[in-house]
Amino acid sequence: MLPLTPYQIIAPLISLFAILYVWSLVFKQKKTIWEGSLWTLFWMAIAVIALFPPVLDYLAFVMGFKDRQNALLITFLGVLSFIVFYLIVRLEELEQRQTKLTRSMALKDAGLDHKRTGSPEGKAHDQGR
Amino acid sequence: MVVLRIFFCPKMRVFAVIPAYNEAKRIASVVEHTCKFVDTVIVADDGSSDATAVVAEQAGAVVVRHAQNCGAGAATMTGIDAARSMGAEVIVTLDADEQHDPRDIPSLLEPVVTGRADIVFANRFGQKNHIPFIRRFFNAVGNLVTFATTGRWVNDSQCGFKVFGPRAVREVMIRMSGYEFCTELVRETVQHQWRVAEVPIKVLYSQYTLAKGQSFANGVKTALRILLRSFLR
């Protein structure tokens, strides 16, 4: 058996931690079992690709990559995609905050604000979370 | 009016929540017809630029107003929060564009009143309704995306006509602002292990309703947001 590269050790370890984290969220009922399974499949794919790179040969064959330059280009595209994804996530967060604020104002204006709703959100608010 | 409500749901305090955006022409009729079947009607005005809030108030609804347009999901959750604070035990949600017939409310309430379900989804495809092909197609795609992200199949996951029983009223928390909240509600049923029932309803499509419906681009956007949120949560 060929010696493992650092990448082949680190990537499966990260995958393992990610899978454990996802299932801890499932047990805390923050994620559903379905979502946990989807994430597990995703991280397992990362680990499998790291441990068995020849899997990618098949993908490269199917997608038509021929040399390292192409692989480099694809890697950078991947990094750019991640940055776009990160920006979308931040935008989503900002939108959520704005919506939360608008909703709170509406309830407050109507004299029906969180502290009296008994909602999960209201209870968290009351407990200072 | 009250007689109808007492007959259908004798013990529980039933509230209706109607999210509305620029529906001044239709909201009065919807509120008046809905009042016959529930104790209180709450209209969540989602930052309308017309007189929706004033008309709804005159028709007898309690109105909560968003300072700006946030989306159907946010308006629905604001309405649910308002209803909870007023002591609602059961909440009916329906659209403000006269697409849903309030006379279906008693049959939707039945599974909750008899203790068979925690949430009831209306099903526009459960009986003979004249629904355009494109609407059927979009709903089928919505159902598939919902199933892919939640693991639960609901025959009409994207319909705004629903009933929340006492447990669902206590536990529901919608975080998605737009139309994708329908999918989030299906996720909530899985998350909280609510008992689900589906009831066939009539649907009234007018030229206005059809024109106001979601475009293909909106549908794609909604589907992407659902997938994104399912990963971010």
| Digit-coded pLDDT (tens) for B196-209 | 999 999 887 777 76
Closest by Cβ to A117, choosing from B67, B84, B230: B84
| Domains in chain B, CATH or no CATH each | 2-232 (3.90.550.10)
Tell me how far apart the alpha carbons of residues A77 and B184 are, in angstroms, rounded to a whole number.
31
Q: Using a CB-CB distance cutoff of 8 angstroms, which residues of chain A are in contact with residue B44? A: 106
Tell me how far apart the alpha carbons of residues A113 and A105 are, in angstroms, rounded to a whole number.
8
Q: Which residues fall within 8 angstroms of residue B214, CB to CB, at 6 or more apart? A: B138, B179, B222
ipTM of this complex prediction, to 2 decimal places = 0.76
For B149-162, write each residue's pLDDT tens digit. 888 999 988 889 99
For A75-122, write each residue's pLDDT tens digit. 678 778 878 877 887 888 898 899 999 999 999 998 887 554 555 555
Quote the pTM value: 0.74
Q: What is the DSSP letter of B44?
A: E
| B146 close to A (CB below 8 A) | no
> Chain B closest CA to A59's CA: distance in Å?
24
| Environment class of A65 (CB within 10 Å of its CB; exposed 0-12, middle 13-18, buried 19+) | middle
Residue type, A129: R
Q: Which residues fall within 8 angstroms of residue B218, CB to CB, at 6 or more apart? A: B179
